[in-house]
Structure 1
Amino acid sequence: MAAQSEQGNYDSYNVDEYYRIRQSGDKMYLLNYEREANQIFDSRNDLMGSSRINLGISSTQSERVVNSSNSRFTCFVRQSDLWSFDNGSSTFTRIFSFDDESSDGVRERYPDHNIKVMEADDDGNIHFIVYGYMNRGEHEGEVGVSLCRYDAKKNDVSELIYIPVDVPYDVLSENVGEVAYIGANGAFYILLDDSLYSIDLTSKEKMTEISGLTDETYAVSENGTAIAYSLNGQIYNTDTIRIFDMASGTDYQIKARQGDRLRVIGYIRNDFVYGEAHADDIVRYSNGGVMFPMYRIAIMDSGNNLIKEYQNDGIYVSTATVQGMRLNLTRVVKNGDGDYETTSVDQLLNREENVQDAGAYVEVVATQSRKKELYIDLVNKVKSAAMASMKTSSSVQFSSGEIIRVDTKLANDSRYYVYGYGRFQGSFVTLEKAIAAADSTYGNVLDIQGREVWRRYKPSGMSLGGINAFYKQSSQTFAGGIDIMLSMAGLSSDAQAGFDSGKNALEIINATGVTALNLQGASLDNVLSIVGTSRSVVGRYGADSYVVIKAYDSKNVTFYDVASGQEVTQTIGEASKLFEQWGNIFVSYIR
Structure 2
Amino acid sequence: MLKHIYRIIILIGIFIASILYFSRDIKEVVFDIDITTVMEETTLPLVTIKVSDNKINLLRAYSTNLNANTIREAVTPLDSEQTFEILINEEEYEIKKLNYELREFVGNDLIETDSISVFNEVDNVKAAKIKLDTRLEPGKEYACKITLITDESKKMYFYHRVKKYENAYVTEKLSFVMDFHNAIKDKDTAQKIIKNLETKKNADNSTLAYVNIHSSFELVTWGNIKPVFLTEIIPTVKEINPETGSVELDYIIEAEIAGVKELFRIKEFYRVRYTKDRMYLLNYERKMESIFDVNLASVSKSQFKLGISSDYEVPYLASADKKKLAFVRNRELWFYNLEVNELVKVFSFRQEDTDYIRDIYDQHDIRILNMDAEGNINFLVYGYMNRGQYEGRVGLLLYQYIRDENRIEEMVYIPIDESYQKLKENIGDLTYMNALDVFYLHLYNNIYSYNTITKQLSLLAENISNENVEFLKNLNHVVWQDNSDPRLSKRIKIMDLETGEIETIDTQSGYNIILMDKINSNLIYGLTAEEDITTLIDGKVIAPLNILEITTLDKKVLKKYSKAGYYITDVEVKDNIIELSRVRKENDNGRLVFPTVPKDYIMNQIKNEPTIIEVTTRVTEQALTEIYLTMPKGFVMNTIPKVSNTIHTVISDDPTVRLPKYENTETVYYPYVFGGIKGLYKESSEAIQIAGKSIGVVLNDRNQLVWERGVKASKSLLSKFDTMNWSASSNQSMENCLRLMLLYQGISVSLEQVNVNNQSAIDVLNMYSKHTPVRLTGITLEDALYFVSEGRPIIAMTNSRDAVLIYGYDAFNIMIIDPKLNKSMKMGIQDSTKLFEEAGNVFISYLRE
TM normalised by structure 2 equals: 0.66
Specify which of 608, 611, 627 is matched with residue 356 of structure 1: 608
Farther-moved stretch of structure 1 (428-437 vs 229-238): 229-238
Check whether the contact 2:734–2:802 (CA below 8 A) recurs between aligned residues: yes
Alpha-carbon deviation of 1:518? Answer: 0.7
- Measure how far apart 1:48 and its partner are: 5.5
Please state if 1:424 is matched with 2:677. Answer: yes
Deviation of 1:233 after TM superposition, in Å, equals: 4.1
- Matched with 1:446 is 699
2:343 to 78, 85, 92: 92
Matches within 5 A, 1:108-507: 108-176=359-427, 178-221=429-472, 223=474, 225-335=476-586, 337=588, 339-352=593-606, 355-363=607-615, 365=617, 367-369=619-621, 370-395=623-648, 397=650, 401-410=654-663, 414-457=667-710, 458-468=712-722, 469=724, 471-473=726-728, 474-494=730-750, 496-499=752-755, 502-507=758-763
Distance in 2 (alpha carbons) for counterparts of 1:177 and 1:316? 29
SS of equivalent to 2:295: coil
Contact 1:495 1:508 in 2 (8 A): no
In the other structure, the counterpart of 1:541 is 798
> Residues 223 and 269 of structure 1 are in contact (CA less than 8 Å); yes or no, is this contact kept in structure 2?
no
How far is 1:362 from its partner?
A: 4.2
| Deviation of 1:390 (Å) | 2.3
In terms of fraction of residues, the more helix-rich structure is: 2
Per the TM alignment, residue 58 of structure 1 is displaced from its structure 2 partner at its CA by 2.2
Deviates more, 1:492-501 or 1:125-134: 492-501
Aligned-partner Cα distance in 1 for 2:552–2:630 = 27
Name the CA shift for 1:471/1:16 in 2 (closer, same or farther; >3 Å). Answer: farther
Q: 1:191 to 1:339 in 2, by over 3 A?
A: closer
What CA deviation, in whole Å up to 9, does each residue of 1:511-540 have, x standing for no partner? 124211011111111111111111001010
User: Alpha-carbon deviation of 1:349?
Assistant: 3.7
Asked if the contact 2:371–2:377 (Cα under 8 Å) also holds between the matched residues in 1, the reply is yes
Q: Max radius of gyration: which structure?
A: 2
SS in 2 for 1:346: strand
Mapped to 2, the partners of 1:429 and 1:166 lie a distance apart of: 22
Matches within 5 A, 1:13-32: 13-32=264-283
Shift of the alpha carbon at 1:134?
Answer: 1.1
Return the letter of the residue paired with 2:718.
L
Output the CA distance in 1 between the equivalents of 2:614 and 2:650.
31
AA at the equivalent of 2:482: L
How far the C-alpha of 1:104 sits from its partner, in A, is 0.3
> What's the offset of the Cα at 1:456?
0.9
> Are the aligned partners of 2:299 and 2:637 in contact in 1 as well (CA < 8 Å)?
no
The 1:168/1:27 distance shift into structure 2, 3 A limit, reads same
Distance 1:274 1:40 in 2: 43
Hey, what's the Cα distance between the residues in 2 that align with 1:300 and 1:55? 40
Q: Distance in 2 between matches of 1:398 and 1:493?
A: 63
Where 1:426 maps in the other structure, the secondary structure is coil
Partners of 2:754 and 2:562 lie apart in 1 by 38
CA distance in structure 2 between the partners assigned to 1:145 and 1:177 by the alignment? 13
Superposed CA offset, 1:52-77 (max 9, x none):
43322223342322111211122221
Shift of 1:386: 3.1
Contact 1:37 1:57 in 2 (8 A): yes
- Choose the corresponding residue for 1:79, options 313, 327, 330: 330
Aligned partners of 1:32 and 1:585: how far apart in 2?
A: 30
Distance 2:756 2:681 in 1: 31
Please report how far the alpha carbon of residue 302 of structure 1 lies from its aligned counterpart in structure 2 after TM superposition.
3.7
Q: In the alignment, which residue of structure 1 is the partner of 2:124?
A: none
Shift in alpha-carbon separation, 1:242–1:128, aligned structure 2, 3 A = same
Residue 766 of structure 2 corresponds to which residue in structure 1?
510
Structure 1 unpaired stretches of 5+: none
The answer to whether the 8 Å contact 1:222/1:269 transfers is: no
Once residues 247 and 375 of structure 1 are traced to their aligned partners in structure 2, the CA distance between those partners, rounded to angstroms, is 35
Moved more, 78-87 or 394-403: 394-403
Return the offset for 1:324: 4.5
Q: How many residues align?
A: 589
CA distance in 2, matches of 1:327, 1:565: 48
Deviations 1:534-564 (A, max 9, x none): 1001010134320001111233222111110
The change in CA–CA distance for 1:126 and 1:7 in structure 2 (over 3 A counts) is farther
1:579 is displaced (CA, Å) by 0.5
- Greater CA deviation, 260-269 or 147-156? 260-269
Q: Map Cα deviations across residues 410-459 of structure 1 (whole Å, 9 max, x no partner).
A: 56661111111222212211111111111111011112222111111211
CA contact 1:159–1:399 (8 Å) conserved in 2: no
The one-letter code of the counterpart of 1:351 is Q
The alpha-carbon distance between structure 1 residues 328 and 471, as it changes in their structure 2 partners (threshold 3 A), is: farther
Report the residue type matching 1:241 in the other structure. I
| Structure 1 range deviating more: 550-559 or 152-161 | 550-559
Superposed counterparts of 1:30-41, under 5 Å:
30-41=281-292
Deviations 1:241-297 (A, max 9, x none): 112221331212111222111112122344221111222222321221122221222
Q: Secondary structure at the match of 1:184?
A: coil
1:350 corresponds to which letter in structure 2? N
What is the Cα deviation at residue 496 of structure 1? 4.2
**Structure 2 runs not aligned, ≥5 long:** 1-251
Closer/same/farther in 2, CA of residues 133 and 252 from structure 1, 3 Å limit:
same
Q: TM-score w.r.t. structure 1 length?
A: 0.93
Say if 1:166 and 1:408, in contact at 8 Å, map to a contact too.
Answer: no
Structure 2 counterpart SS, 1:510: helix
Q: 1:300 to 1:412 in 2, by over 3 A?
A: closer
Residues 543 and 308 of structure 1: is their aligned pair in 2 closer, same or farther, counting only changes over 3 Å?
Answer: closer
Which residue identity lines up with residue 358 of structure 1 in the other structure? Answer: P
Q: Share of identical aligned residues, percent?
A: 27
- What is the CA distance between 1:587 and its match in structure 2? 0.9
SS of the residue corresponding to residue 384 of structure 1 reads coil
Q: Residues 410 and 257 of structure 1: is their aligned pair in 2 closer, same or farther, counting only changes over 3 Å?
A: closer
The separation in 2 between residues aligned to 1:269 and 1:51, in whole angstroms, is: 31
Separation in 2 of the partners of 1:257 and 1:583?
Answer: 33
Query: Does structure 2 conserve the Cα–Cα contact (< 8 Å) formed by 1:193 and 1:408?
Result: no
Matched residue, 1:528: 785
